[in-house]
Amino acid sequence: MKDVGLRIRVQRELREQFLDACKAQDKPAAQVLREFMWEYVASNPVADVDLEAPIRKND
């Protein structure tokens, strides 16, 4: 599976506090976000979704 980017907008203060918290735990921010995303997806399943399959439009 090919990796892709995700761009989000957050308040500057939230970003700074998040980066500080990641640094205090010696974890890259991207790793923390990926872990959160996997946990969120696992706890909020969507019926009939294959995470490995590409999304097809107009089917």
DSSP string, the chain: -----------HHHHHHHHHHHHHTT--HHHHHHHHHHHHHHHS--TT--TTSPP-S--
Confidence (pLDDT) at 45: 86
What percentage of the chain has pLDDT greater than the value 70? Answer: 80
**Residue 53 pLDDT more than 80?**
no
Q: How confident is the model at residue 1 (pLDDT cuts 50, 70, 90)?
A: confident
CA distances, 8 to each of 12, 26, 47 (Å): 12, 22, 26
- Give the amino acid at 14: L
Distance CA 27, CA 39 (A): 17
